[in-house]
Structures are given as C-alpha cells and as structure tokens.
Structure 1
Amino acid sequence: MSAIDKQSKIYVAGHRGMVGSAITRRLQNDGYGNLVVRTHAELDLLDQARVREFLGREKPDYIFLAAAKVGGILANNTYRADFIHQNLVMQSNVISGAHEAGVRRLMFLGSSCIYPRDCPQPIREEYLLTGPLEITNEPYAIAKIAGLKMCESYNRQYQTEYVTVMPTNLYGPNDNFDLATSHVLPALLRKAHEAKLGGEKRMVVWGSGKPMREFLYVDDMADACVFLMEQGVRNGAYNVGTGADVTIRDLARAILETVGFDGELAFDASKPDGTPRKLLDVSLLASLGWRAKTMLDEGLIKTYQHYLSLNQ
C-alpha cells in the first residue's frame, strides 16, 4: 500500500524541467489527481514573499523540489555566482516556506556532484564532506550540500520529514540540448546529429575521453522519487543511479551508433575532463527494493527520438 493518498495535494516545483516533468508524468500516470504546478512566470522561486504566500495558501501535503539552475561543465564554471546564488535562494525559500506552511513531507533533489572530487568508488552516502570538491562545479555543489543539510536540520529541530535524493548524471526527454549550457550526453547527441546532417568526417569531444560517468534515464529517476514517497521514507539521503558507468569515449561511440553517424571521434585534450570518475553506490536504495530499469542503449534511443521531435 502507498503511504500517499491519490487525492493528496502534491506540489512539483520545477515541473517544466527534465526531472520535474518526469515526476509530473509519473504522478499523473499513477492516478494522482491533485497536482499543483506553477510556471516561472506565475511563481518566481527567487521571490521569498511570493513563495511563502503561495505555500501558505495552497498548503500542499507533499512537495517534490526539482526546481534548480543546472548546466554542464562550461556553464557551471562560467556562471559560478549565478549557480550558487540562485540555487541557494530557491531551495531555501521552498524548504523554509514549506515548514512555515505546515508541509511535513518534502523531497529535495540534490546531485552526485556534492561528493568529493577524488572519492573512493563507488560513492557511498557517508562520503559526503570527506574531501575537496571538483573545482569546476564547486558553487553548484555547495548549494546542493546546503539544501541537504537544511533538510536534515529541519528534521532534527522541527520533526519534519524532508528527504534528499542524489541522482547521478540524468538524461532523457526535456533535457537541455544547448551546446553552451548542456551536460555531456545531450551535447554529444546534438553534435553527432549535426555532424551527420552536415556530412562531417569527424566529431570533436571535449577532454580526453577517459573520465567515467554513470547515466540514469530521467523516467527512472522519477520512479525512484515517487517510490521513496510512497514507501513513507521520512528522512535521510539516498543515491539514485544504475550502479554502472562508462567512459566518455564509450558513451560517444554509443551515441554515434544511435544517431547513425559513421565519422571518426576526435578528443580535445585542452578542454577540462572534470572529475575522473563518479560512480554511485546505490545499495541503500536497492535495500528498499528499487533498481533502475532502463539500459543506456534503450535510453539513448528514446532521448534521440525526443530530440528529433523537437526539430520537426
């Protein structure tokens, strides 16, 4: 039995983003009929007064806090002040506003980048704050660590039930395919598609291709989030991933095959690699009965189909 009644009022913050839209789809498909969503134009989460007024008026039973300023290595390293400021303000407004409105259960979406750069692999939840962060995304990581600790602190002081999930690298429908601000997978997918259309002989990939990354299809992430809420998990922090990783070189090869581009791969070693490896230990979540279902090859096909639909 689910710990959530189907008519519970559920607020999904960031419902137009990749993760928020997947959570919204999942809830709707499961018959949750009392969802509350607001666009940025309707509710600016940087505006504390408006957030407090909204939450005080709506009084949702549950909140999925998926709203965030996100981007790839270039965006994170370029707009460092924007990433730390906007994420700190948004999450603080929602978490504190939720408490003031009497919302007992909230899920905060963190990130696997909160862990130290040179973490033992696979990364367990208790490795948090045991070493220096990766410098290229340090401001974003610090904001997400603050959100996790804010949830912990409200739970301890006010007996709220705020849970944090730390996803690995996500991809899928509604991803950002802008080459200047996107993450590695959607950026490579777009570059491969454009190289194919342009009749190019090769595709250039940033970095050496040696770093290893784990990729989770976004609908699996949504499934994990709803699973934890339905299980009645009341506190703690949980890694969410597949438990397997690939090199950026092998990812690029898989993307070329998905797109149907038969050119060569070239690597620009003058560009940063970022963290050498970032594989999550997902045994804590697995012990509750959840595992990812979508294999990378299947997820790439679905994501490419979505990308093609955007350009029809």
Structure 2
Amino acid sequence: MNPAFDTYIQSLAGRDVTVIGAGVSNSPLIRMLCSAGARVTVLDRNPALPREEWDDLGVDLRLGENYLDRIRGDVVFRTPGMRPDHPAPDSARAGGSRVTSEMEEFFELCPCPIFGVTGSDGKTTTTSLIANMLADGGRTVHLGGNIGTPLLTRAGEMSPLDACAVELSSFQLMDMTRSPHVAIITNISPNHLDCHRDMNEYTAAKRRLLDFQTSDDFAVLNGDNPATAALRGRGRTKYFGGHTVHDGVIDGLLPISDIRLPGWYNVENVMAAISAVGGTVSEMRQFWRRCATSSVWSIETSGWQLSVLMSNDTNVTTLRKVLKPDSLGFFYFMWFDLCH
C-alpha cells in the first residue's frame, strides 16, 4: 500500500541501528527494526529493564549509568525527550552515524496529508478533534505522535487517501526538517523552560512546524495569542480567535452554545479544529450533535460550587488555562497534574 515504506524497510536489512530509550514510544520501533533484519542495539538508563523480549529478538542491550557512552550505528534513533544537541547524538554524528527520530522518519515516509498540531496548551484536544472531524467525513484517519501512539510502524498501512492527525511537542520539532501539510499552533506561552534554554528557543521550536511548508500548504494560528499572531505560514494562513465569532457563531458555522464545555480555551480548541478541517454549516452542526453523546472530550464535570465549575481535565497543564475567564465572565478552577 505504501511502496516508499516497503523500500525503507528493505534498506534496513543488515544495517546497524541504535535506539536510545526502550520506553513505550520506542518499543514498536524496536520490534519493527528487528523484523526488518537490522542489527539493533538499545540503550536505556534503566539497569532493571525487562529484557526477555529483547533477548528473544536478538537485541544488544546496553543498560545503566553509562548507557550513552560510545554511541555507534549506521542509524541512531534518539528518544523524543532528548535534545538534538545532547552530547550523545553529537558524538554519534561525529562518528558518521545518521541521527534521526521516529517522527522524522515518519514525516519522510507518510503517503497522506498530515495535520500537525503543536502549542503550549490544547494540542491534545485539538488533535483529537481534528481526527474525529476527518473520520466523521469518511476519511481513514491515523492519530498519534506525542499523544503516545507511534506512527512510523503504521506507515506501511497508509494510503494517499488517508489522513494523519499528529500531536507534536517542542522537543520533537527542534530538529525536524519537514512540515505538515496543515500546521496548527494553538498558542505559545512560557512552558518547558526547565528544558529549553529560554523563551526564544522554545518559540523557535514551535515555529519550526511552519518553517518547511510550501506555498501549497496551510497554516492555522491563534490570532488572539501575541506569539502566534506574529507568525505566518509559507502558504495560506488563517488566524482563528474572537474576531471570527459573530452573533455567537464561529465562522458562520457553529454556535458557541453548541460547545457544551466550560472555558474559552475549549472554544479556541474548537476554532482551531474547525479552521483546519473546514466543512459546511450542516456538517458542523451534525458533528457536534453527535459529540454531545460521545467520548470525544476528555473532561468530566464534577459540579457547581459558588458559581465556579470544578472539573477534572487531564489536558489542563498551565495556570493560564485555569484562570482565563470564559465569555460569560466566570473563572474556572480546575485541578491538574503537571505530569500530563
């Protein structure tokens, strides 16, 4: 179904391939490399990593404190959370290795349009909404990326008529050399500054989603967020935000009252998804009516107290989202876990 992927798999036979990290996101990759006939070495900090499966597959495991010493291989896959300029991949490059990532290889081999989503907040919800909207329109949709589902191992099943909805973190974007056909940046605000050198580096990583687009591609940006409002795609660019709402209707397509969730940030997520996918008034209204009784949303309401809606929303990770008032002037308090 995907000749480019078949050729790629064949090219791995007999190659020395090193994978940094044996976590959930890289495990399917390791299995794929082994089945392709590559000689696979896996490096992981955890000295107690369960090794039975990897031993059975013939994987050479290097575990423990010095797992990053002397990295070699024709190809080296870095783990998504490792900075591209970490000394370990730099050393591998100096030794002649091609350093890449699962996401970079996927972008190279994906045969269908990619809807790529990044942002400081809302990217998981927006990516999921886009996937559901596309599927609702009859497309075969592949959802993954930073959401947790590896996509490279599924590229062989994809056809040009499919679509991919991909969530991308700043770490995944830092050394990407390709952009999605439709690039969506929900917003940019201070985040992950314990890992990025400063706000400029963090913003540059997010902006990289747009850097390799062509004039045929499409960018969707938050016009109400100063950092994203200052950006522009290389092709057609659309800015969503309050300016697209007239008489309580988003883009003439969807009444805000149909979005039965609290908080303006959820309205922004919906605006981003609608802008990316498009559709008719009838299609939008039918889709949202179906959403009202589905599990598209990951938010659960726990009740009203003193005009404050208390909710458990696993996608809320910053105080900016927690404290921003909705269009009615209410402030929402949400408890959250910064690990999400």
Q: Which has the higher contact order (CA 8 A, sep 6+)?
A: 1
> TM-score, normalising length from structure 2?
0.29
Please identify the structure whose Cα radius of gyration is greater: 2
> TM-score, normalising length from structure 1?
0.31
Structure whose residues are more often helix by fraction: 1
